[in-house]
């Protein structure tokens, strides 16, 4: 048997500790740039950062943090948050990133559910913390991360830099079980209570390796990576870990996520890879269009967009007017989160129209992730590009259960995760999201894709954003309603928008009504919150 042959390789655990040691050894001159709340930029080399990670590890142990303990963060994207990303798992504890955009009662539920014992919070977020900290009985200590001009640290709390200052920058990290938990993230909870997803060291390392692969995100040592996606959401799509493993420079935006602030960082820090949800990039595209020639984005190799379907008009606008290539991605908290990427295969390249069509899909599964789609009865569907069904995935960094074994109905008996996304899959394997299962519009027994209608509406020159949702109808049960946000200074009538859609969709797909709003409500992760639109406008078709 092969297992008995001499010379076989020693078992080596895949743990995040390796990233700390690798970065310190090979990339000491790489840099992490963080924009603080006061807008000043903090710069720290990897050499200094890894010394601080070891100091933090000593501080955590001195505080009584033990393997398996949950250490929560309530913080924006910055170098201290990265230090926690590295030090907490490396000592065997579990980092828990709290979503600061949730309601305080929801954050309290999540912190209680995870049994968080320590909280590291930005000073600017102390008012939010004060709204729920006393509802979490397991919290032993709060450590405050502050910069010049930030609020003072309450006397009952500790200050981050004071905690690190007396600690040694030498620390021997323990040998860990690769299947031990490294991080826990919670879903946004748009339906029911949020559910915890536990990432093991092995799953996180596997995800990091895949993110660095040439036909994935291709994160490399020469890159400058800007995660606009928050570090409190699905590990910032794994980009902080990928950058550290590759030795890339990292740029963190802090709390300043407006278009001007992001563009300044992209230009001044010579960013090569940036990543965020479509709503962020819609605002950036609008500013680029309004200020033609002002911004130099020549260094940008790609911008990764995920979290929701990006309209083809936005993908085309970035490429044709500003030379920025969009990499469309799909993933979820439950997939660590990278699941699929819209890479154009060489056999399909050459035709600009076809390339745009492919880049507008969610792509095909990254290595080690399997994909399929099924109907409501669980029947596996053909890859014909037309048949719609719920996307299911499985793989080494795809969740197999939720924390505390909740939500078992989301997992099939043969180990697939039911994503809730309604998709088609074509013969080449490209996935196209047509809706969320909870948002799909069922009119007279037929499915209507809100995403396809939204994309078409957002290709109108006057439309900034569009969200299509189901309105109640006496005859057809549900009919589409389109919420429209117009670009500043632009106008469009209901009739003009209907004309724009005609010829592209079947007649029964056409929206029965349009509502013009100042802003489309969003979830905590920046996705359109259609449940609120349904609550506000869903009854307007009754009696029509």
Residues acting as catalytic residues: 187, 334, 442, 447
Q: Which residues on adjacent β-strands are paired with residue 494?
A: none
SS3 533: helix
Local structure of residue 340 (DSSP, 8 states) = E
CA-to-CA distance for 488 and 506, rounded, in angstroms? 31
Place of tokens 């200052």: 165
Q: How crowded is residue 378: how many other Cβ atoms within 10 Å of its Cβ?
A: 12
CA-to-CA distance for 416 and 9, rounded, in angstroms? 31
Cα-based angle 184, 188, 193 (whole degrees, multiple of 5): 90
Question: Which letter, b or e, does each residue of 198-220 get, where b requires 16 or more Cβ atoms within 10 Å of its Cβ?
Answer: bbbbbbbbbbbbbbbeeebbbbb
CA-to-CA distance for 69 and 46, rounded, in angstroms? 27
Question: Which two three-digit tokens encode residue 23?
Answer: 């970065």
Local structure of residue 327 (DSSP, 8 states) = E
Q: Which residues on adjacent β-strands are paired with residue 74?
A: 121
CA-to-CA distance for 367 and 537, rounded, in angstroms? 42
Could you tell me which residues come within 8 angstroms of residue 188 by beta carbon, excluding any fewer than 6 positions away?
99, 102, 194, 333, 523, 524, 525, 527
Could you tell me which residues come within 8 angstroms of residue 366 by beta carbon, excluding any fewer than 6 positions away?
210, 213, 216, 338, 339, 340, 341
CA-to-CA distance for 317 and 323, rounded, in angstroms? 9
Alpha-helical runs (H) found in 64-186: 79-90, 104-114, 126-130, 160-164
Rg from Cα positions in the chain: 24
Q: How crowded is residue 401: how many other Cβ atoms within 10 Å of its Cβ?
A: 16
CA 312, chain centre distance (Å): 20
Question: Which two three-digit tokens encode residue 502?
Answer: 């005609």
Q: How crowded is residue 386: how many other Cβ atoms within 10 Å of its Cβ?
A: 10
């Amino acid at each position: 048997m092969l297992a008995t042959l001499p010379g076989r390789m020693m078992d080596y655990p895949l743990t995040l500790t390796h990233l700390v040691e690798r970065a310190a050894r090979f990339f000491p001159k790489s840099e992490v740039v963080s924009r603080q709340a006061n807008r000043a930029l903090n710069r720290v080399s990897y050499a200094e950062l890894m010394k601080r990670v070891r100091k933090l590890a000593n501080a955590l142990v001195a505080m009584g943090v033990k393997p398996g303990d949950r250490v929560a963060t309530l913080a924006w994207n910055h170098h201290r948050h990265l230090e926690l990303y590295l030090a907490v798992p490396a000592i065997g504890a579990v980092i828990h990133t709290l979503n600061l955009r949730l309601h305080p009662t929801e954050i309290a539920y999540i912190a209680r559910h995870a049994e968080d014992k320590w909280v590291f919070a930005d000073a600017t977020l102390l008012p939010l913390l004060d709204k729920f900290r006393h509802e979490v009985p397991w919290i032993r200590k709060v450590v405050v991360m502050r910069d010049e001009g930030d609020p003072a640290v309450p006397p009952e709390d500790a200050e981050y830099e004071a905690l690190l200052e007396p600690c040694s920058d030498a620390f021997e990290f323990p040998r860990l079980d690769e299947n031990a938990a490294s991080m826990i993230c919670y879903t946004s909870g748009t339906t029911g209570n949020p559910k915890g997803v536990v990432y093991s060291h092995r799953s996180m390392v596997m995800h990091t390796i895949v993110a660095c692969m040439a036909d994935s995100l291709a994160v490399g040592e020469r890159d400058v990576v800007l995660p606009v996606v928050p570090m409190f959401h699905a590990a910032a799509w794994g980009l902080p870990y990928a950058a550290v493993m590759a030795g890339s420079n990292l740029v963190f935006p802090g709390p300043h996520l407006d278009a001007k602030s992001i563009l300044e960082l992209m230009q001044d820090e010579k960013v090569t890879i940036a990543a965020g949800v479509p709503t962020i990039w819609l605002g950036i595209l609008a500013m680029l269009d309004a200020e033609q020639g002002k911004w130099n984005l020549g260094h940008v190799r790609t911008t990764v967009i995920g979290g929701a379907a990006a309209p083809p008009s936005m993908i085309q606008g970035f490429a044709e007017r500003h030379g920025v290539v969009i990499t469309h991605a799909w993933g979820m908290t439950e997939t660590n989160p990278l699941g699929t990427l819209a890479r154009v295969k060489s056999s399909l390249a050459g035709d600009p129209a076809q390339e745009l069509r492919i880049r507008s899909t969610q792509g095909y599964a990254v290595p080690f992730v399997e994909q399929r789609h099924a109907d409501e009865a669980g029947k596996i569907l053909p890859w014909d590009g037309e048949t719609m069904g719920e996307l299911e995935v499985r793989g080494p960094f795809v969740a197999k259960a939720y924390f505390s074994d909740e939500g078992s109905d989301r997992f099939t008996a043969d180990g697939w995760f039911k994503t809730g996304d309604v998709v088609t899959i074509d013969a080449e394997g490209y996935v196209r999201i047509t809706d969320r299962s909870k948002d799909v519009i069922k009119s007279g027994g037929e499915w209507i894709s809100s995403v396809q209608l939204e994309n078409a509406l957002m290709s109108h020159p006057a439309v900034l954003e569009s969200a299509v949702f189901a309105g109640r109808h006496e005859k057809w049960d549900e009919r589409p309603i389109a919420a429209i946000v117009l670009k500043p200074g632009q106008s469009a009538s209901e009739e003009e928008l209907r004309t724009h859609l005609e010829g592209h969709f079947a007649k029964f797909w056409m929206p029965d009504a349009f509502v013009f709003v100042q802003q489309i409500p969003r979830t905590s992760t920046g996705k359109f919150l259609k449940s609120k639109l349904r609550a506000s406008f869903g009854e307007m078709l009754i009696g029509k």
